[in-house]
Amino acid sequence: MAFDLDAVRKEFPILSRQIDGSPLVYLDSGNTSQKPRRVIDAMTDFLENSYAPINRSSYRLAGEATEAFEAGRRAVARLVNASSPDEIIFTKNATESMNLIARSWGGANLGEGDVVLLTHMEHHANIVPWQMLRDERGIEIRWVPLTADGQLDLTDLDRLLDGAKVFSFTAMSNVLGTIPPVAKLCAAAHDAGALAVVDACQYVPHNATDVQAWGADLVAFSSHKMCGPSGIGMLWGRLELLDAMPPFLGGGNMIDTVTLDGYTTAPVPAKFEAGTPPIVEAVGLRAAVEFLEDLDMSDIRQHEMDLTRYALDTLNGRFGDEITIYGPDDVAVRGGVLSFAFRDLHPHDVSQVLDERNVCVRAGHHCAKPLMQVLGVQSTTRASFYLYNGTDDVDALADALAGATDIFGF
């Protein structure tokens, strides 16, 4: 079936809300997505009828809860084409997944002088954990620069990768929308003898994802950006790599045995899931994955490409030199994230004006301060689209921006 925007919108209760008699225009999905009814209902039903601790009790209710939790893992494995559900580690969020990588794999394999390669468009979650290791271990961090239109400048990639042990990069920028050639970058990392780590937090919710086709080693992403609940993130890794990595946290569930003299770990994935996990969230996540699968990720991607093209043309056509939209113009290599500068207005003033029209955007550095420095700005206004947005939302954004004239006198 063709992508039916009206039918999709009806799945999201919050989109029917009005504030002061006007509809809600939600353009902050790059931060967090809204939740469809089936996710809300799945979590509510589980809490009302099936909640119990998992993995530790033998009574029937606990067995049902354990199965519901593991069904969430199987759904995620299917969505990203993992070779086994055991390759999916549940974490708190993608930030924790990236810290797990740096602390577990990095802590065991990186020392003074070892090189980690990042890019100038990384989120803080893919910068700070490596900087912490640099401060503790004396590793070296190198950076892939950007082209003028916000894509990765790969002309010097071989030199940058020379001697590197890790190449960690985003699959889609949360500021520029840029989608780099992930499979090509993973292959380049391996050719240089480096581990390929992918921050796919912005990518997985919007694109068909195949971690095996990418040739990646470790991939982090998060539920709350893909119509699922907050409080649960995912780390995919090659099973043999996860087996070799030391545990990240210690405690219950991640052990095989404990004595006064030491411990042995449980197999993957339990080895990395210490303590009581996000059980209800895994149930909601499964419902979110099934929702996305029913819509079809390729149709979602096409819808967002068409919408992004419309947004770029509408905003540039309407405001011309008064607006600067960062990132590529080619929607084939970008997602529906539009970070922009408008006239000489501070991004927080712009967001306040938009909020008066019930247009929800984000203003700030978007957890990407190094990229802000590269762009030569302190912050931007960001409108980010998802599967429930349409051209009417873009028009509302443009009309609200035009309203800034009345307030600030431009």
Residue range 297-336, pLDDT digits in tens: 999 999 999 999 999 999 999 999 999 999 999 999 999 9
Residue range 178-219, pLDDT digits in tens: 999 999 999 999 999 999 999 999 999 999 999 999 999 999
> Looking at residue 216, what is its pLDDT?
98
- What ranges do the domains of the chain cover? 5-30+296-408, 41-293
Residue range 374-405, pLDDT digits in tens: 999 999 999 999 999 999 999 999 999 998 76
DSSP 8-state class, residue 178? B
> Looking at residue 241, what is its pLDDT?
98
How many whole angstroms separate alpha carbon 386 and alpha carbon 305?
Answer: 10
The stretch 213-238 carries a mean pLDDT of 98
> Looking at residue 1, what is its pLDDT?
39
Helical axes 279-295 vs 60-80, angle rounded to 10°: 40
The stretch 38-49 carries a mean pLDDT of 98
Tell whether the model's pLDDT for residue 251 goes beyond 70.
yes
Residue 364 phi/psi, 5° resolution?
150, -160
How many whole angstroms separate alpha carbon 16 and alpha carbon 165?
Answer: 49
How many whole angstroms separate alpha carbon 332 and alpha carbon 397?
Answer: 23
> Looking at residue 343, what is its pLDDT?
93
The stretch 20-37 carries a mean pLDDT of 97
3-state SS class at 44:
helix
pLDDT band at 409 (very low <50, low <70, confident <90, very high): low
Q: How many CB atoms lie within 10 A of CB 32?
A: 15
Secondary structure string (H, E, C) spanning 78-140:
HHHCCCCHHHEEEECCHHHHHHHHHHHHHHHHCCCCCEEEEECCCCHHHCHHHHHHHHHHCCE
> Looking at residue 370, what is its pLDDT?
98
> Looking at residue 53, what is its pLDDT?
94
How many whole angstroms separate alpha carbon 326 and alpha carbon 380?
Answer: 9
Q: Is the peptide bond before 23 cis (omega within 30 degrees of 0)?
A: no
User: Please, which residues bridge with residue 170 across strands?
Assistant: 199
- Averaged confidence pLDDT in the chain: 97
The stretch 241-250 carries a mean pLDDT of 98
Place of tokens 């095989």: 256
How many whole angstroms separate alpha carbon 366 and alpha carbon 369?
Answer: 8
Give me 259's structure tokens: 């004595």
> Nearest 5°: CA angle at 44, between 274 and 225?
65
Q: Provide CB contacts within 8 A for 44, sequence distance 6+.
A: none
Q: How far is CA 30 from the centre of its chain?
A: 8
CATH superfamily for 5-30+296-408 is Aspartate Aminotransferase, domain 1 (3.90.1150.10)
Is there a catalytic annotation at residue 360? no
Tell whether the model's pLDDT for residue 5 goes beyond 80.
yes
CATH class of 41-293: alpha beta
